[in-house]
Amino acid sequence: MASSSGGGSSKRLKIGRFNQSPNLTFAPSSVPPFQTLNSNIVWQCPWYAVRQDQILLPNGDHAEYNVVVKSQAVWVLPVTAQGDIVLVRQYRHTVQDWCWEIPAGSVKPGQTLAEAAHEELREEIGGVTDRLTYRGQFYTANGICNEVGHYFLAENVILGEPAHEPVEVMSIHPTPIAEVYRLARSGQISDATSLLVLLLCEPHLQ
């Protein structure tokens, strides 16, 4: 990723908002081959920052590595009592396309992962559940970003009135499980993190 060393944001945030060293269960397989000599935040906005690292490579060369720094996030696979998976069809300005997805969002400061998952259910699909199960975690884009995604399976979800933000243009679609996986395997679901959660949760669906 090219760095955004120029410019800034009119709304500056303390970098403490961003989780640079999340407490993960991932265990490093070896001693890191890169040594970080210096790090600076070169750009930030309310949602993420860009960190520029000066690193020492194994061969002794110096290099620059740019990292998108984000807070942790949650993905929730909602399943209704009728056995439907609740998908959202959301317009994504970044790719200028409509995408099939599952509810997801960043973990706010002070929130637990479960609190964030319940909040995303309420906001995106008006959903409530008394059966929310944590299933695991993954890196969302480990080539450019340090974000860690946590995924939940929500069962017996009851749908209500969502509370979308103005930039969230989406519709809600309860869909039979078999049809959801047909959409996934046919390539019609193109959001990688939603696909991953569908894959990982499939053994847990009744």
Tell the residue number behind the tokens 């800034």, with chain if given: 8
Mean predicted lDDT score pLDDT of the chain: 89
Q: For position 16, what pLDDT does the model report? A: 36
Q: For position 6, what pLDDT does the model report? A: 35
Q: For position 30, what pLDDT does the model report? A: 75
* Burial (0-12, 13-18, 19+ Cβ within 10 Å), 5: exposed
Same domain assignment for residues 86 and 158: yes
34 near 55, Cβ under 8 Å? yes
Q: Residue 195 corresponds to which tokens in the numbers above?
A: 């696909």
Same domain assignment for residues 181 and 93: yes
Residue 6: inside a domain, yes or no?
Answer: no
Residue 102: inside a domain, yes or no?
Answer: yes
Q: What residues contact 181, with CB distance under 8 A and at least 6 apart?
A: 198, 202
Whether residue 3 has pLDDT greater than 60: no
Same domain assignment for residues 97 and 133: yes
Residue 186: inside a domain, yes or no?
Answer: yes
* Burial (0-12, 13-18, 19+ Cβ within 10 Å), 104: buried
- What's the domain count of the chain? 2
Same domain assignment for residues 130 and 200: yes
24 by DSSP, 3-state: which?
coil
Bridge-based pairing state of the strands 62-69 and 49-56: antiparallel
Residue 107: inside a domain, yes or no?
Answer: yes
Same domain assignment for residues 108 and 163: yes
Residue 5: inside a domain, yes or no?
Answer: no
Whether residue 7 has pLDDT greater than 90: no
Compute the half-sphere exposure of residue 101: CA atoms within 13 Å on the CB side of its CA: 23
Same domain assignment for residues 165 and 197: yes
Work out the pLDDT band at 24, boundaries 50, 70, 90: low
Q: For position 64, what pLDDT does the model report? A: 98
Same domain assignment for residues 127 and 173: yes
Same domain assignment for residues 77 and 61: no
Q: 61-85: per-residue pLDDT in tens? A: 999 999 999 999 999 999 999 999 9
CA distance 168 to 104: 12
Start-to-end CA distance of the chain, whole Å, equals 41
Residue 4: inside a domain, yes or no?
Answer: no
Q: For position 26, what pLDDT does the model report? A: 60
Q: What is the mean pLDDT of residues 43-65?
A: 97
Q: Residue 88 corresponds to which tokens in the numbers above?
A: 């959202």
47 by DSSP, 3-state: which?
coil
CATH of the domain at 180: 3.90.79.10
Q: For position 31, what pLDDT does the model report? A: 83
Same domain assignment for residues 105 and 198: yes
Q: What is the mean pLDDT of residues 171-186?
A: 98
Q: Domain range for residue 62?
A: 15-69
CA distance 173 to 139: 27
Whether residue 193 has pLDDT greater than 80: yes
Same domain assignment for residues 57 and 145: no
Residue 148: inside a domain, yes or no?
Answer: yes
61 by DSSP, 3-state: which?
coil
171 near 162, Cβ under 8 Å? no
113 by DSSP, 3-state: which?
helix
Same domain assignment for residues 82 and 167: yes
Give the residue with greater pLDDT, 2 vs 57: 57
Same domain assignment for residues 27 and 110: no
